[in-house]
Structure 1
């Protein structure tokens, strides 16, 4: 028994006429009549009194009509709910971001713009390298990528010509150390050849590693490090620095509480800070209703977002 047979029976009970019911169901009358006959065979009894004009239902048909109305109504409501869910899912925008931005910027940013229901974090991206974000944007795995970007000149082996971005904020990578007994940094920049500083470094193919290296290369005073750990995650670096294993550069948003409490202190003055932008990227050719509406919203509100760039 098929749902459309039940819908046919409801239409016939309403119109009391085979031809009109067949027209409502967009089928020929012979097909419609055959389906009603199959329905009666399935139920094992006569449901339609064909001797009256207009047609009438038998007592069994009247009883069966109630079931048909209940079932078809529930199916209709379920279809509508499923369609709404499908439409909502189609409008949702997936945003990829590193763990530090996901934890310390994204929730407040979404709340400020009222985007909590529209924009959904893509949690698989928290340990990606920079190139992974652009590859995911290009193949449609995510719709937006939120990432750090160096303000100063930095050579990155990455072609971004097919992408557009908006700047949504600023950040600084701050060199940090645990404090000694007097509240001073245990490890102090720039170190020396004889006594290089133990460094909690970022992944060598990551953007933050490149940004730090480019910034240090521009300093008049050479710095000296012994890399003792490499990590993609800022939380890992923060934990190791906090345990006193060495120095590390961390986003100021991530470590502000630790700085305020005195648990972590600067390992050097502000000339060692690495300025960053926080950029929101999209793939230029990506067609997505929710994404287009979101991008137009950003264009309307303007500040604090920068103008578009290709």
Structure 2
């Protein structure tokens, strides 16, 4: 039994005429009559009194009509709800971001712009390297990519000409270490040839590693490290630093609470901090109404709302 058969029966009950009901339902009269007959066979009862003029419904037909009206109304309401859900899904924007931005920036940023219902984090992206985000934008796997970007000159070997971006904030990578018994950093930059510092490093092909390397190359003092671990995730770097295994750079947002309560301390002067932008990228040719509305809303804000600044206790 099909829903349209129930709609046929409702039309017949309303018009009391096979030909007019068939016209309303946009089918030929023989096809319409055959459907009504199939309904009667399915229900095991005569539903239409064909001997009256205009025709009438039998008592079984009157009962069946009430069922048809209930079922078709529920289907109509459900269809409307599903349509609204599809529209809402089409409006949503899928955003890819590294784990540190997903945890320490995105919730507050979404709340600031009231975007919680519009933007959906793409959790598969938390362990991607920078090129992965742009490839995902290229193939439409996500709508937006939120990523760190070096402020200083840094060779990334990445073509971004097919993408638009907005700067939504600033960040600092700060070198940190656990403290010794006197409260000073156990590991202090820049290290020496004789005593290289154990380094909790980032993935050698990652943006954070490139930004740190480029920044250190511009310093007058050479740094000396023994790389003991490499990781994509800042949380992994933070955990190993916190266990006392060495020194490393963390986004200030990630490190701030541990710095405030003394679990970590700065491992060098301010000049060792690496400035970063936080950029939101989209593909030039990727368009839908939700993405366009979000992009236009963000463009209205000239000053990035998401930023960090040196805390009062920063070494100088």
TM-score bucket (shorter structure): over 0.9
Give 1:241's aligned residue: 241
- Segment drifting more, 145-154 vs 62-71: 62-71
- 8 Å contact from structure 1 (residues 298, 305) kept in 2: no
Question: Per the alignment, do residues 25 and 301 of structure 1 end up closer, same or farther by CA in structure 2, a change over 3 Å counting?
Answer: farther
Matches within 5 A, 1:196-235: 196-235=196-235
Q: Helix, strand or coil for the counterpart of 1:279?
A: strand
| Residues 305, 164 of structure 1: alpha-carbon distance in 2 compared, 3 angstrom cutoff | farther
Q: Equivalents in 2 of 1:24, 1:91: separation in Å?
A: 35
- Calculate the TM-score normalised by the size of structure 1: 0.96
Report the CA distance between 1:301 and its aligned residue. Answer: 4.0
Work out the CA distance in 1 between the residues paired with 2:24 and 2:295. Answer: 43
Counterparts in 2 of 1:271-286, with a 5 A limit? Answer: 271-286=271-286
Alpha-carbon offset, residue 302 of structure 1: 4.0
**2:268 corresponding residue in structure 1:** 268
Partner of 2:297: 297
Please name the residue that 1:116 is paired with: 116
- Which residue is equivalent to 1:55? 55
Structure 2 CA distance for aligned equivalents of residues 19 and 119 of structure 1: 52
Corresponding residue for 1:188? 188
- 2:138 maps to 138
Does residue 163 of structure 1 match 2:163? yes
Alpha-carbon offset, residue 189 of structure 1: 0.4
Distance (Å, rounded) in 1 between the aligned partners of 2:110 and 2:20: 53
User: Matches of residues 24-35 of structure 1 in structure 2 within 5 Å?
Assistant: 24-35=24-35
Unaligned runs of 5+ in 1: none
Q: Relative to structure 2, which stretch is displaced further, 21-30 or 217-226? A: 21-30
Aligned equivalent of 1:101: 101
CA deviations on 1:8-27 (whole Å, 9 max, x unpaired) are: 11121122222332232222
Contact 1:95 1:144 in 2 (8 A): yes
Three-state SS of the structure 1 residue aligned to 2:277 is strand
**Further displaced range: 296-305 or 27-36:** 296-305
8 Å contact 1:48–1:58 — kept in the other structure? Answer: yes
Q: How big is the alpha-carbon RMSD for the aligned residues of Structure 1 and Structure 2? A: 1.3
Partner of 1:7: 7
CA distance in structure 2 between the partners assigned to 1:3 and 1:230 by the alignment: 61
Where 1:35 maps in the other structure, the secondary structure is helix
Mapping of 1:247-266 within 5 angstroms? 247-266=247-266
Distance in 2 between residues matched to 1:54 and 1:41, nearest whole Å: 22
CA contact (8 A) 1:192 1:224 kept: yes
C-alpha separation in 2, matches of 1:160 and 1:11: 59
Cα offsets for 1:233-263 (capped at 9, x unmatched): 0000000001110000000001111111111
